[in-house]
A and B are shown apart, each in its own frame.
Chain A
Amino acid sequence: MALMQNLTKLLIARIDEYLDAISEGMIVFQQGLEDYLGNRMTDFEERMAMVDQYESRADKLRREIENQLYSHSLIPEMRGDVLGLLEHLDNIIDVAKETLTQFSIEVPDIPMELVEDFTKLGESSVKAGEELVNAARAFFRELSRVKDHIHKVYFYEKETDRITSNLRMKIFRRDMKLSRKMHLRDVAVHVAKISDEAENVADRLSIYTIKRSI
C-alpha cells in the first residue's frame, strides 16, 4: 500500500514536470522568436538550445510516465487516453523546436514592416499552446475547468488563423521576389502550426474529458 502511495506521488510529480516542460518550452519559443525578429542572434541561438533541452526532457519524462503506468497497471481505463494526450502534447514542443531550427537554418529575411505581424502571430500561437497545457492540467486535477481552457485554445487558434491570413496577404501584396514571398509564407505557416497542433489535442481532450467523467 505504501509502495502504491509513493508510486502515485512520484507519477503525479512526473506528470507535473512534463507539463511544466511543455509550458516553459512554449514561453522560451516565443522569446526566441522575438530575439530573431529583433536581430539578437546570440540570444536566439541560446533560446533555441533551451527549447531543444525542454523537448528532450519532455520526451524522457513521457517515456518514464508511460513505462510506470503500464508496468504498474495504473489508471487502466484511462491509460490509453492519458498516453495519447501526453504524446500529442509532445508534438507541440516538437513543432516549436522545428520552427526555431527552421529560422536558424533558413534565416528568413523578414521585412521590418512585417515584424509586428510575426510577433503577434507567435504570441497568439503560443497562447493556444499554453491554454492547452492548462487544459491538460485541469484534466488531471479539476475536470470541470477543462472546458474553460479548451474554449480558449479554440479562440487563439482562430485568432492565429486570422493573423496568418492577413500576414500572407501582406506578404503576397508586397513587391518582393516570389521565392522570398513563398519562404516568408512558409515560415508564417510553420509558426501557426503550434496552434493547429493545440487545436488537434484540444479536440482529443474534449473526448477524454467526457470519458473521464464517472
Chain B
Amino acid sequence: MLLFFLSSGLFLGWSLGANDAANVFGTAVGSRMIRFKTAAIICGIFVIIGAVAGGSGTSETLRKLGAVSALSGAFTVALSAALSIFVMVRVKLPVSTSQAIVGAIIGWNLFADKPTDTSTLIKIIGTWIICPILAGMIAAVLYIIVRFLVNRSRLHLLRQDQLTRYGLIIVGAFGAYSLGANNIANVVGVFIPSSPLHSLVLPILGTFSPAQQLFLIGGISIAVGVATYSKGVMETVGSSVVKLSPLAALIVVMAEATVLFVFASKGLDSFLISHGLPPIPLVPISSSQAAIGALVGIGLVRGGKGIHYSLLGKISLGWVATPIMASIITFIALFFMQNVFNQTVIAPEKATVEIQLKEPGKVKTTDTLTQSKKKSASQSHNDFHIFPQKYRSHPIIKVIPNSFNHLMNVKRLNKETVCPGFFCLLHGLFVRKTG
C-alpha cells in the first residue's frame, strides 16, 4: 500500500532524474567527453548517496511549510505537483519541481485549513531568487580563475582535454550528490510526516530512520530516471541547446553543484551557526535555474553578448506561476480524493497522553502557557466524544473523522488512566494535543 501511495512521488523522482541529470552530465555526454553509461552509473550512485546522507535539511524546511499528515494526502500533493509541472511544460513556461511541490504543499495547507508558515515561505522564495544569482556569481569567479590558469599553464590541448574529462567526472559526481541532497525533498519530502515506516538498525550502517528509508527509495527512483530516460535529454542539452566548451561546462556544473550543496548542507549550516554567522536556509531549489544563472554569469564575464534576457523574465514568472498553479491543482485534487474516492487526505488530529508523576506536595513548576495547553486525561477523553458534535456545523472539508483518533487514544489510555479513582492519586497527569 505504501508503495502505491509513494508512486506519485516516485514518478516525480523518475522525471527529476530524467530531466535534471542533464544539468549535471548533459554537456559531458552530449559532447562525447563521457559515455552515457559512465555518466548514468556515477550520477545514479551519487544521487542516492546525496539523498540518504544529506536529504534531511530541505525535507525539514518543507515539513515546516506544511506537514501533510495522511499518506493519501501526500500522494495527492505529489501527484498534483507532477500534474502542474506537466501543465506548465505544455504552456512552455520554465518549471521546477521545487516550485511545484512548494505550491502543492500550500494547496494542502489551504485545503486542510492549516496555516502556512509565512516566514518559511518567504525563506523559500528568497532562496529561489538568490539561487541563480549566487550560481552566476560563483560561475563568473570560477570562469575568471580558470581562464587565467589555462592561459598561464601552457597545458597541451590534449592534456587539458584529459584533465577536463577527470574534472567533469569528479564535479559531475559532486553535482549528482548535491542534486540528490537538495531535491530529494521534492520527491519524498511530503511523505515523511505520514510515513508508516519504522527505524531499522543495520549491522554496519547503524540506524536507518524512516525518512532515510524514504530518501533511499526516492533516490533509487531518481537513479532509474537517469538510467532509463535521461540519455536523450543529455544529448539535446549537450549538442543543440547551448554550445559550451567542456571547460565552461565544467564551471557551470561546479557552480550549480555548489549552490545545490550550500542550500542542502546541514553540516555547513551548523558550522556557520557555531561560528556566529547567519544560517543558510536549507531549501530545495531548481538545478535548471542554477545552471541558467551560471551560464548568464559566464556570459556577463564574456561581455554580455548573446544572453537572452527574456528568459530571465520567464524564470521570474515561473517563481510565481508554478506555485499558484500547483496550489490550485492540489486543492482540486484533494477535494476529489476526499469526496469522490473517499480517501483520508487529512489525518485526524491525534491527542497524545503525557503522564508525569509528581512527588506529593511538590508545587508544579510548569509555566502558565504549558499549563494552559494541558488538560486532564478525563477531560480529554470527554473531548473526544464532544469533538464530532463540535464540528458538525462546519463545511464538509473541515469535518475530521474522529472515531479512529478517538479509538487510538482510548487504546493508549490504560484501565488505570481512565479510572477516576486512580487518577486522583496522580498529580501530574496531563494531556497534550499534538499537531
Q: What residues of chain A have their CB less than 8 Å away from a CB belonging to chain B?
A: 1, 4-5, 8, 11-12, 15, 73-78, 82, 139-144, 212-214
- What 16 new A-B contacts, CB under 8 Å, besides A11-B158, A77-B246, A141-B156? A5-B162, A12-B158, A12-B159, A73-B33, A74-B161, A78-B161, A140-B156, A140-B157, A141-B154, A143-B150, A144-B151, A213-B147, A214-B150, A214-B245, A214-B247, A214-B251
Enumerate chain B residues within 8 angstroms of A74, measured Cβ to Cβ.
158, 161
Contact with A along B338-380 (1 / 0, CB 8 A): 0000000000000000000000000000000000000000000
Bound-state CA distance A5–B166 (Å) is: 11
A interface: dominant SS:
helix
B32 at interface (Cβ–Cβ under 8 A)? yes
Enumerate chain B residues within 8 angstroms of A73, measured Cβ to Cβ.
32-33
B108 at interface (Cβ–Cβ under 8 A)? no
Enumerate chain A residues within 8 angstroms of B245, measured Cβ to Cβ.
77, 212, 214
Q: What residues of chain B have their CB less than 8 Å away from a CB belonging to chain A?
A: 31-33, 143, 146-147, 150-151, 154-159, 161-162, 165-166, 245-248, 251
- Look across to chain A and name the residue whose beta carbon is closest to the beta carbon of B155: A141
In the complex, the answer to whether A8 meets B154 with C-beta atoms within 8 Å is no
Bound-state CA distance A213–B154 (Å) is: 13
Given A214-B245, A214-B247, A214-B248, A75 and B159 contact (CB-CB distance below 8 Å) = no
Bound-state CA distance A74–B32 (Å) is: 9
Bound-state CA distance A139–B156 (Å) is: 9
Question: Min CB distance, B149 to chain A, in Å?
Answer: 10
Enumerate chain A residues within 8 angstroms of B156, measured Cβ to Cβ.
12, 140-141
In the complex, the answer to whether B158 meets A214 with C-beta atoms within 8 Å is no
In the complex, the answer to whether A75 meets B161 with C-beta atoms within 8 Å is yes
In the complex, the answer to whether B162 meets A139 with C-beta atoms within 8 Å is no
A-B contact count (CB 8 A): 53
**Partner pick for B31 among A76, A82, A144, CB 8 A cutoff:** A76
Question: Min CB distance, B234 to chain A, in Å?
Answer: 14
Enumerate chain B residues within 8 angstroms of A76, measured Cβ to Cβ.
31-33, 246
In the complex, the answer to whether A8 meets B151 with C-beta atoms within 8 Å is no
Question: Min CB distance, A208 to chain B, in Å?
Answer: 10
Question: Min CB distance, B246 to chain A, in Å?
Answer: 6
Question: Min CB distance, B151 to chain A, in Å?
Answer: 5
- Look across to chain A and name the residue whose beta carbon is closest to the beta carbon of B150: A214
In the complex, the answer to whether B158 meets A75 with C-beta atoms within 8 Å is yes
Question: Min CB distance, B294 to chain A, in Å?
Answer: 14
Please list 7 pairs of residues, one from A and one from B, whose beta carbons are closer than 8 Å in the complex, sorted by A's number: A8-B159, A8-B162, A15-B158, A140-B156, A140-B157, A141-B154, A213-B147
Which 4 A/B pairs are nearest by Cβ-Cβ distance? A76-B32, A214-B247, A75-B161, A8-B162
In the complex, the answer to whether A4 meets B151 with C-beta atoms within 8 Å is no
Bound-state CA distance A180–B157 (Å) is: 49
Bound-state CA distance A75–B246 (Å) is: 9
Question: Min CB distance, A200 to chain B, in Å?
Answer: 21
In the complex, the answer to whether B151 meets A143 with C-beta atoms within 8 Å is yes
Given A143-B151, A144-B151, A214-B247, A77 and B157 contact (CB-CB distance below 8 Å) = no
Enumerate chain A residues within 8 angstroms of B166, measured Cβ to Cβ.
1
Bound-state CA distance A5–B158 (Å) is: 10
Given A5-B162, A214-B245, A214-B247, A75 and B157 contact (CB-CB distance below 8 Å) = yes
Question: Min CB distance, B167 to chain A, in Å?
Answer: 12
In the complex, the answer to whether B162 meets A4 with C-beta atoms within 8 Å is yes
Bound-state CA distance A140–B154 (Å) is: 9
- Look across to chain B and name the residue whose beta carbon is closest to the beta carbon of A211: B245
Enumerate chain A residues within 8 angstroms of B248, measured Cβ to Cβ.
214
Question: Min CB distance, A172 to chain B, in Å?
Answer: 47
Enumerate chain B residues within 8 angstroms of A5, measured Cβ to Cβ.
162
Question: Min CB distance, B158 to chain A, in Å?
Answer: 5
Enumerate chain B residues within 8 angstroms of A139, measured Cβ to Cβ.
157
**Partner pick for A82 among B33, B147, B157, B159, CB 8 A cutoff:** B157
Enumerate chain B residues within 8 angstroms of A141, measured Cβ to Cβ.
154-157
**Partner pick for A214 among B147, B159, B162, B165, CB 8 A cutoff:** B147
Bound-state CA distance A109–B374 (Å) is: 119
Enumerate chain B residues within 8 angstroms of A214, measured Cβ to Cβ.
143, 146-147, 150, 245, 247-248, 251
Question: Min CB distance, A104 to chain B, in Å?
Answer: 38
Residue of B31, B154, B158, B162 ringed by the most chain A CB atoms within 10 A: B158
In the complex, the answer to whether A77 meets B155 with C-beta atoms within 8 Å is no
Enumerate chain B residues within 8 angstroms of A142, measured Cβ to Cβ.
154
Enumerate chain A residues within 8 angstroms of B146, measured Cβ to Cβ.
214
Question: Min CB distance, A175 to chain B, in Å?
Answer: 55
Bound-state CA distance A73–B158 (Å) is: 11
- Look across to chain A and name the residue whose beta carbon is closest to the beta carbon of B32: A76
- Look across to chain B and name the residue whose beta carbon is closest to the beta carbon of A68: B158
Given A5-B162, A214-B248, A78 and B31 contact (CB-CB distance below 8 Å) = no
Enumerate chain A residues within 8 angstroms of B246, measured Cβ to Cβ.
76-77
In the complex, the answer to whether A8 meets B158 with C-beta atoms within 8 Å is yes
